[in-house]
Amino acid sequence: MDVLTQIDRDRIASLRAHDEFFWLDLVAPSDADLDALGELLELHELAMEDTREFGQRPKLDRYHGAVLLVFYSARADQDEKPVEMIEVHLHISGGWLFTARQGACLALDRLHETLVPGVDESEEYMIYRVLDALTDALFPVITELERRIDALEERVLSDTDREQLSHIYRLKQQVQSLLRLMVPQREQFGAATEAILGLPGLEQGSRAYLRDIGDHLAQVTSELYRQTDDLGALTSTYFNANANRLNRTATRLTVLATFFLVWTLVTSFFGQNFKWLTDHIESFEAFLFYETICLVLPTIAVAVFFWRRRKDWL
């Protein structure tokens, strides 16, 4: 299959005249480019209007002799940056494939080098290769999100802080944003497969290639649902861990306060001017003896009591 990355009127006209299937992949096409392609490929004006306006939901539009499929892929780096959504507009007919995107897409760029012109493959298989590259790029994103969730869970279980909660919510927003695109994309792909296979002049392969795309989208959606549940559980884990940490702190303060209560009681008792105290404790040695005994014995008793229950309280 011939792969074109810029508009070559003569080449496109020649390929169409010889009924040779080709793929035209444009990055950030201008209005002039789209006007020229609308004339060369005889694209419907509504299809061209949609391609001029990115930021759309996944959808499928049928036109005479062609379909427009708005398809999403994604990319995630390992430097904790938000997941980048990649919107690709695929105009598909029985004689050509035209894709438009606003920025770089490594999956499609790498595919340019692997598709060899003149290789005898069905046109359905060529379309499948493009959709498969976009879909397979979602799996590293799922893996990266899973890594971030696992790392965050480990930090939450070791020591909680307020920043972790905001990080959980940011991750949840990314997963849900991706899920909001993947669910309709998965649900409509069955209809998209029928529409593509029903295009006049499209050569079909020996096996149902496009069905694999639907299976992969279902798998991606399932993983995103699971990650949403994991993040919800992680939120509960954060609050439980934080409550446990506060309980441990309160318990330690209670233990310390108990010791001070005993010491305060003893010292305040010997600070009273009772007649027995003034008659029997006449020297510093006697005062030190009684004070020490009355401080040490209750302290030991309280310490033993807390030590025996340390596993339950601390």
Question: Does 228 share its domain with 287?
Answer: no
Please state, rounded to an integer, the average pLDDT across all residues of the chain.
Answer: 85
Same domain, 141 and 277: no
Last residue of a domain, one of 242, 258, 288: 242
Residue 56 contacts residue 87 (beta carbons within 8 Å): yes
Give me the number of domains the chain comprises: 2
Q: For residue 302, what pLDDT is reported?
A: 79
Domain that holds residue 283: 246-313
Asked which of 194, 212, 242 is the last residue of a domain, the reply is: 242
Calpha distance 185→178 (Å, rounded): 11
Alpha helices by DSSP H, the chain: 9-17, 31-40, 45-52, 106-114, 123-136, 138-158, 162-197, 209-269, 275-280, 284-308, 310-313
Residues 145 and 257 in one domain: no
For residue 148, the domain's CATH number is 3.30.460.20
Domain end marker among 189, 209, 242: 242
What average pLDDT score do residues 95-112 get? 92
Domain check: are 58 and 200 in the same one?
Answer: yes
Res. 243: pLDDT tops 80: no
pLDDT in tens, 202-225: 888 756 788 899 999 999 999 999
CA-closest candidate to residue 223, choices 263, 178, 190, 268: 178
Q: Looking at the structure, do residues 182 and 105 belong to the same domain, yes or no?
A: yes
Residues 275 and 231 in one domain: no
Same domain, 30 and 67: yes
Domain identity same for 222 and 275: no
* Cβ pair 306, 313 in contact under 8 A: yes
Q: What is the pLDDT of residues 139-187, one digit of tens each?
A: 999 999 999 999 999 888 888 788 888 899 999 999 999 999 999 999 9
pTM: 0.78
Q: Are residues 287 and 219 in the same domain?
A: no
pLDDT at 295 over 90: no
Range with lowest mean pLDDT among 63-67, 283-287, 306-310: 283-287
Same domain for 269 and 235: no
CA distance 228 to 247: 29
What pLDDT band is residue 312 in, cutting at 50, 70 and 90? low
Residues 100 and 173 in one domain: yes
Kindly state the tokens that stand for 98: 């035209």
Same domain for 288 and 209, yes or no, is no
Beta bridge partner(s), residue 22: 2, 96
